[in-house]
Structure 1
Amino acid sequence: MKTGAVIVAAGKSSRMGDFKPLLKLGNISIVERIIANFQQAEVFPIVLVTGYRAKELEKHVSKLGIICIRNEHYETTEMFDSIKLGLSYIQDKCDKTFFSPVDVPLFTADTLKRLMQSEAAVAKPIYKNSVGHPVLLSCEIIPQLLQDGSDDGMGKALSRLISVTEEIEVNDQGTIKDADTPGDYQELIEYHNRQLFRPNIEISFTKENKIFDNKLAILLHVIEYDGTVKSACEKMGISYSKAWHMLSDFEENLGFELIDRCAGGESGGASRLTPKGKKLLDKYEDYCNQVRHFAEECFNYCIKENF
C-alpha cells in the first residue's frame, strides 16, 4: 500500500514576519525538516504546494526528490484551496496520503508509521488530548473533501468526517508544535534530531558513469503522472534540456527506450513510459526498498544500539 504526503507552503507567513518554510529550525530549514520526516518513513510521492515566493522555495527543495505544485492564486485563496490543489493532484497516485501545513515540522517518523497502521478513512494524531498533524487520509475520502464547498477550512471539513475518523494517541509533542515561536524549541529540536539519525542511502546504477538514480526515477514517475516531460520538469525544478539529457543518456547506455515520445508544440508533446520503462521503475523501487530495509537493520545493530 503506497502512502504519499501533501505539504502546504503557499501562504505569506505573516505572523512570523519572515518566509516560514526557509527559516532555520536547528541547522536545516523548516521545509527540509518536514520533508526528511516523511522520507524517513518511506512516504512517496511527497507533494509541496507553493505560492508566495514559489520560485525561491522550489529551487530550495529541487534536489530533495519531491514534486512541487504551484497555487498561482495564493493571494486571493485560503489554505483549504491550496490543500485541495495538492489532494487533487495526489489522489490517484497512492492509497493514502498525509496532509500537513509546512509549519508543523517536528513530528517523528515513528508517529507516521503508527498512523499508517490505521485502517480508518481519516487518522489523526492526539497528544495530551490535543489534535495534531499530520493527518492521514484514505484517498477514497479525498473526493468528499474536494467537493466541500464550505469556507470554514480543513479542520471543519474533517470534523464532518468524524464517523470515519480514528484518533490515535501518540507520545510525540512535535505533532502539536508549530513554528510560529521557534525560540523555545531547543530541547524538542534536539530530541527530533536524535530521531532523524539514520542511514542515508542513495542508490544509483552505473556503467562508465551514473546512468540511473533516484532523480531519474522521480522524473519518470512525474512524466507518467502528467503525461509530458515539460510538466514534469516544472514540478521537479529541472530544465527541459537536462531532463532529456538524463533520459537519452540512460537509453543510449541500456539500449531501450524509457518513454514513448509524441511531438508537440509549446506543451512539449505527450509522453508515457514504455512497458520496459515501467518495469524498470517498479524493479528499481523494489530494489531500493530492500536495500534500505537491510541498511536500517544494519544501522540499528551496528550504530544506533552502540552510540
Structure 2
Amino acid sequence: MGTGALLIVERLEFPGGPARGRGSRPSPVHRVVRTLIRAGMDLIVLVTPPDCLEALQKHVARMSVLCIAPDSGAAVLTLLGTGLVYLQDKCSRILVSTLDYPFFSTETVAALLEPDAPLLRPVCGGREGYPIRLFSSMIPQILKKNKDESEEHLGLNEILNGSGLSCTGLEVEDEGAVLPSQRAFAPPQTAIFPELRLRLVRKKPFFGPGASELLSLIEEAQSVRLACQRMGMSYSKGWKILCDMEEEWGAPLILRRQGGRNGGSSSLTSEGKALLEAYRKFEKVAQSLVQEAFRNCFPFLCPPHPRSGEVRAETSPH
C-alpha cells in the first residue's frame, strides 16, 4: 500500500475560489496540498464538515485531491475518524494535520516517511509540530480509545494522547512545521516550485486530475450521481465526461447495475480500475522526474538536501 495524507479542514478558512491577482498569497489549503503533491503522496484526502464540503471541492478543483465529509458532525474526532477509516485499507503510512499548520516543508514530509517509529511528529527548537505520521495498523486503537470521550472539545493532540500510544519526535530544521497560521504575522516566503498537471490525449484531451477524481469518487460511492454531487457538477455533465473518456480510451470504464431495492449502483470496470491506477502511478513518477529536473535546472532556488532527521526519545502529544 502507498502513502496517504489526511488534512482536517474544520472551518471555512479559504475563500470561495483560488487566490487570484498579482501579489495574492496562496490559501492555507492550497499551500498544504501543493506541499503534499510535491512530496509525492499517493493519495491526499481532505475531510471537512458536511456544510463545508461543496465550497472546499470548488476551492481545490483539479488539484488531484479527494474531499470527503461525515454524514453529520463537525468535531475533530468525527472528521479524523471519517478520514482514517477511508484511508485505512488504502495506505500503510498516513500523514495527518489540521489546517492550523500550513507551513511545513516537503523536506519535513520526506523525513517523516523514513523512520519506522509507529507514531512520529516533527520537532523544531523543542516545539512539537505537524504533520503527524502514523501507521494504518494503529487506526483501530486510536478510534477505539476515543469513542467514549466527549468529542466536542477534543483536538488532534488530545485524541492521539487519549489513544495511549507514545509519539516519537523527529528533529527537523523547519520552523514552518511548528508555526501556526494564526500566529504567523510574517509567514515563510512561498518558495518557487514547478506545478505539473497531466492529461491523456487521443483525438482530444480526455483524462486528467478532474477525471481521476470522478472515477475515484464513483468507486468510493458506488454511484455516478453521488460522485457528481461531491464534485459539485451536474449529473448530465458527469455522464458526458464519462462518455468522452470511454470513447477516447476505447473500452467501457463504468459498470452500471440497474434496479434493485436501492435503485441500482455504478462501479469501475477492470479497464476503469487499471486506467485510474496507471494514471496515479504516472502522476507520481512524472512529479518525481519534474522535481529532479527542477533541482538540476534551478539549483539556486532549491534548498540543500536535508540532513537525516534525528529521532529523539519518545514523547506524548500535548
| TM-score above 0.5 | yes
- CA 1:99–1:163: 2 relative to 1, 3 Å: closer
Cα deviation 1:178-210 (Å, max 9, x = unaligned): 12133x224x2x1xx12xx22212211212210
Q: What is the aligned partner in structure 1 of residue 158 from structure 2?
A: 156
Local SS of the residue matching 1:5: strand
Q: What is the aligned partner in structure 1 of residue 205 from structure 2?
A: 210
Q: What is the aligned partner in structure 2 of residue 294 from structure 1?
A: 289
Cα deviation 1:98-155 (Å, max 9, x = unaligned): 1111121000111111101122221111111211111111111111122222235432
Q: What is the aligned partner in structure 2 of residue 84 from structure 1?
A: 81
The reply on whether 1:109 has 2:102 as its aligned counterpart is no
Q: What is the aligned partner in structure 2 of residue 56 from structure 1?
A: 55
- CA 1:22–1:305: 2 relative to 1, 3 Å: same
Output the CA distance in 2 between the equivalents of 1:102 and 1:115: 18
State the one-letter code of the partner of 1:156. Answer: E
Q: What is the aligned partner in structure 2 of residue 185 from structure 1?
A: 186
How many residue pairs get aligned? The number is: 291
Q: Kindly, what percent of the aligned residue pairs are identical?
A: 30
Q: Which has the higher contact order (CA 8 A, sep 6+)?
A: 2
Moved more, 281-290 or 100-109: 281-290
| Deviation of the 1:306 alpha carbon | 7.2
Local SS of the residue matching 1:20: coil
Which one of 150, 167, 170 corresponds to residue 168 of structure 1? 170
- CA 1:9–1:163: 2 relative to 1, 3 Å: closer
TM-score by length of 2: 0.81
User: Aligned Cα RMSD in Å?
Assistant: 2.7
State the one-letter code of the partner of 2:281. Answer: D
The answer on whether the counterparts of 1:228 and 1:268 sit within 8 Å (CA) in structure 2 is no
Q: What is the aligned partner in structure 2 of residue 35 from structure 1?
A: 33
Moved more, 114-123 or 103-112: 114-123
- CA 1:205–1:268: 2 relative to 1, 3 Å: farther
Output the CA distance in 1 between the equivalents of 2:167 and 2:181: 26
- CA 1:22–1:266: 2 relative to 1, 3 Å: farther
| Deviation of the 1:258 alpha carbon | 0.9
| Deviation of the 1:290 alpha carbon | 2.8
State the one-letter code of the partner of 2:43. Answer: P
Local SS of the residue matching 1:117: coil
Unpaired segments ≥5 residues, structure 1: 12-18
| Deviation of the 1:267 alpha carbon | 7.1
Q: Within 5 Å, which residues of 2 pair with 1:1-307?
A: 1-11=1-11, 19-22=12-15, 27-51=25-49, 53-71=52-70, 73-74=72-73, 77-147=74-144, 148-149=146-147, 150-151=149-150, 152-160=154-162, 165-182=167-184, 184-186=185-187, 188=188, 190=189, 193-194=190-191, 197-264=192-259, 269-305=264-300
Moved more, 283-292 or 243-252: 283-292
| Deviation of the 1:63 alpha carbon | 2.8
Output the CA distance in 2 between the equivalents of 1:143 and 1:92: 12
State the one-letter code of the partner of 2:66. Answer: I
- CA 1:288–1:153: 2 relative to 1, 3 Å: closer
State the one-letter code of the partner of 1:8. Answer: I
Cα deviation 1:257-294 (Å, max 9, x = unaligned): 11211125997732222112222222223333333222
Moved more, 246-255 or 263-272: 263-272
TM-score by length of 1: 0.84
Local SS of the residue matching 1:48: strand
The answer on whether the counterparts of 1:223 and 1:272 sit within 8 Å (CA) in structure 2 is yes
State the one-letter code of the partner of 1:36. Answer: R
| Deviation of the 1:252 alpha carbon | 1.5
Output the CA distance in 2 between the equivalents of 1:78 and 1:36: 26
The answer on whether the counterparts of 2:38 and 2:287 sit within 8 Å (CA) in structure 1 is no
Local SS of the residue matching 2:103: coil
| Deviation of the 1:71 alpha carbon | 4.2
- CA 1:291–1:71: 2 relative to 1, 3 Å: closer
- CA 1:92–1:305: 2 relative to 1, 3 Å: same
